[in-house]
Amino acid sequence: MSKKAILAVSFGTSFNETRKVTIDAIEADLAAANPDAVVYRAWTSGMILRKIAKRDGVHIDTVPEAFERMEKDGITDVVVQPTHVINGIENDKMMDAARSYSDRFTSVKIGSPLLTTAEDAMECAKALKQEFSFVTDREALVFMGHGSEHYANFVYPAMNYIFEELGMKNFLLGTVEGYPELSSLMADLKKLQPEKIWLAPFMIVAGDHANNDLAGDEEDSWKSILEAEGFKTEAVLKGLGEMKSIRTMFVEHAQNAK
């Protein structure tokens, strides 16, 4: 008799409050959409797993540990659904680990990260337009993505083309560890001369990068850099995982897992 599971794989976060409204919420939506499956959790950041274990005394499985646990529980069919934004380094590592266990189960299917196809990017941009409908034409919205050395980083500059195509010329996306950097957006911002710049994370959770690199008071935060350039800023520390429309995309990707 088959026994199904969904393994939700996230980078992880040490911010418990944001975890509840992002990672937990995605897992709850996956469970609601798949009542015949058990939802398991795995995180890929060793640094965060160690921090949670030390600070909270909580053990969260790595991908291999989750597969071992599912096998022990008698699971036969697994859908692995990452909550990653792009098909980057973390996703590659997850796929390698998942595939190494495929011969121990009847089937192991893998869903795609948030932004995998051009359609995904378009759907995400439309969801953000709706979510941030309070941003006026006289204001700008600057998103901070994580960014990566991985070639999948091309998704971030592509999003700026899509924003423009959808008439969202005052929506701009930069990254903290990839391209485009904040400095690459500065010429557009100076041209726009917005009355105010809203700052928001383009990450599943509003964790360390959002609270410090984006909206922190240190002089190298995006908030401080923009204010030093004379812009007025306001941060919206809301991770993508808090948005129902974004969570629905992950549910759809799990349903289309291959």
The pLDDT tens digits of the residues spanning 7-60 come to 999 999 999 999 999 999 999 999 999 999 999 999 999 999 999 999 999 999
- Element housing 251 (H / E): helix 244-255
DSSP assignment of 177-190: SSSS-HHHHHHHHH
> Partners of 199 in the beta sheet?
142, 235
> Shortest CA distance to 84 belongs to which of 253, 256, 225?
253
pLDDT band of residue 156 (cuts 50, 70, 90) is very high
pLDDT tens string 94-142: 999 999 999 999 999 999 999 999 999 999 999 999 999 999 999 999 9
**CA distance to 66, 81, 137, 191, per residue, from 9 (Å):** 10, 6, 37, 40
Residue percentage of the chain with pLDDT more than 70: 100
* Environment class of 185 (CB within 10 Å of its CB; exposed 0-12, middle 13-18, buried 19+): buried
- What pLDDT was estimated at residue 77? 98
Annotation says 146 is catalytic? yes
pLDDT tens string 54-82: 999 999 999 999 999 999 999 999 999 99
The one-character DSSP state at 105 is S
Determine if residue 193 is left, alpha or beta; phi over 0 gives left, psi from -120 to 50 gives alpha, anything else beta: left
CB 5 within 8 A of CB 70: yes
The one-character DSSP state at 117 is S
Neighbouring CB atoms inside 10 A of 153's CB total 20
The one-character DSSP state at 220 is T
> Partners of 141 in the beta sheet?
171, 198
- For residues 228-252, average pLDDT: 97
What is the average pLDDT value for the chain, to the nearest integer? Answer: 96
Among 59, 84, 146, 209, the active-site one is 146
CB 238 within 8 A of CB 254: no
Does the pTM surpass 0.75? The reply is yes
- What pLDDT was estimated at residue 1? 81
- What pLDDT was estimated at residue 2? 86
